[in-house]
Amino acid sequence: MTALERLHVDCAALGTILFTVTAHDFDALLFRRLYSSHPAEYPASGTKPMVRDAWFDLCITRGETFVANTPDAFAALFFDHALITSMGLGSAVNIPVSDGTLVVGTVNLLAGIGHFTPDRLAGYHDAVRGQRVGLVQALRASAATPG
């Protein structure tokens, strides 16, 4: 089992419904999805433009976790908020993954409204830390692969 698969299992056990991992391609100014629990809605080959907004400043520049426990809290930042809510999801977390110098990707978790309590967040952070080495390897390998 890969680090991405193991982390997906661990996060699902904590209550995550939608799980993706996204690599940051700073050369192409794209976010590239490497893994998805819902490939029909969010294929692993998906990309989106890198926009330097409040989310980018928090997660990528400062390396801090983004937490939104209601659709209103993420709607202005997520272009796909209608799809997210149509799937019955109402909270989102993006956990930055650093290679020690640079945030090279994020672990993206979605669940029902109000899911991401402080205790649950601690569990998710522990799960990501436990797979950090494998995550960073997968994220670096994706950066080396032409898109």
Classify each residue of 16-40 as buried b or exposed e, where b means 16 or more C-beta atoms within 10 Å of its C-beta: bbbbbbbbbbeeeebbbbbbbbeee
**Model's pTM, two decimal places?**
0.93
Per-residue pLDDT of the chain (147 residues; tens, 9 = 90+): 899 999 999 999 999 999 999 998 888 889 999 999 999 999 998 888 888 999 999 999 999 999 999 999 999 998 899 999 999 999 999 999 999 899 999 999 999 999 999 999 999 999 999 999 999 999 988 865 544
* Side-chain-side CA neighbours of residue 49 (13 Å): 5
